[in-house]
Amino acid sequence: MKLSWSHAVLNVRDIDRMLDFYTQVLSFRVTDRGVLGDDGSEIVFMSQDPEEHHQLAMVNTRKDEDTANSLNHLSFRVRSFEEVSALQATLKNRGTDTLPLSHGNTLSVYFNDPEGNGLEVFWDTPWHVAQPQGRVWDTSLDEEGALAWVRENFRDEPTFEPREDYFRRRAAGTD
């Protein structure tokens, strides 16, 4: 059996605040919403993919005031470096704390949603590096500068290599 990722559902306290964040900052679109049970709880479905009914859903059933703790983070891939840079600027303008980390194979920005759920948005670099790795990167760099920084900071790792070589070996079963 080969599983493919479908969606995540978050239990939230303030569904309107969370919807504002996920739609305005992360560009999700609401695809459906409605009452979930006799208690009046609501579920909201969201997606960025027009071929997926929902990639993320939220249910306003969370009552505790503690920071989220059962979820480490949700991670989202973007197609371009510019998208990571634009998100970093959006988060900075909203006063959201971020942790820009590179894993060698990605340039990532980590942050929390309004209820403390961890999020990562990343762009793939052209390289593979065995994990775990994590080094803070300068988000003021342009794409060329960021890639030069990654190369400089990870090239001495024994597993640093072009990502296509790594995936070719994995596909062949020789890794």
Distance (Å, whole) CA 56 – CA 33: 12
Q: What is the pLDDT of residues 125-146, one digit of tens each?
A: 999 998 988 999 999 999 999 9
Residue 162: strand pairing partners: 127
The b-or-e profile of 89-116 (16+ CB within 10 A means b, else e) is eebeeeebebebbbbbbbbbbbbbbbbe
Q: What is the pLDDT of residues 1-40, one digit of tens each?
A: 565 677 898 989 899 999 999 999 999 999 999 888 788 8
Which of 31-40, 86-95, 98-107 is the least confident region? 31-40
The percent of residues in the chain predicted with pLDDT above 70, rounded, is 95
The pLDDT confidence band at residue 171, using thresholds 50, 70 and 90, is confident
The pLDDT confidence band at residue 62, using thresholds 50, 70 and 90, is confident
pLDDT score recorded for residue 38: 81
Maximum alpha-carbon separation in the chain: 59
**pLDDT of 71 strictly over 90:** no
